[in-house]
Amino acid sequence: METGNEPAVPAAPATTSGPARDAKGHYIATIDHDRRAQAAARLRADNPKMTYQQIAESTGYNNKGDCWRAIEKCRKAVLQSAGAELIASEAAQLDDLFVAALEVLERDHVVVSHGKVVTGADGKPLLDDGPKLAAIREMRQIRESYRKLHGVDQPTQVAVSGAVRYEVVGVDPGDLR
- The amino acid present at 54, given as its one-letter code, is Q
pLDDT, tens only, 63-102: 999 999 999 999 998 888 988 999 999 999 999 999 999 9
Q: What is the pTM of this model?
A: 0.55
Question: If 0-12 CB within 10 Å is exposed, 13-18 middle and 19+ buried, where does residue 149 land?
Answer: middle
What does the pLDDT read at residue 25? Answer: 80
Q: Cα dist. 149→78, 86, 99, 159, 172 in Å?
A: 19, 10, 18, 25, 57
The SS3 of residue 112 is: strand
What does the pLDDT read at residue 14? Answer: 39
- Say whether pLDDT at 6 is over 70: no
Q: Give dist(CA 38, CA 138) in Å, integer.
A: 44
The separation between CA 5 and the C-alpha centre of its own chain, rounded to angstroms, equals 59
pLDDT (mean) for 33-43: 92
- Say whether pLDDT at 11 is over 60: no
pLDDT, tens only, 131-163: 999 999 999 999 999 998 888 877 767 777 777
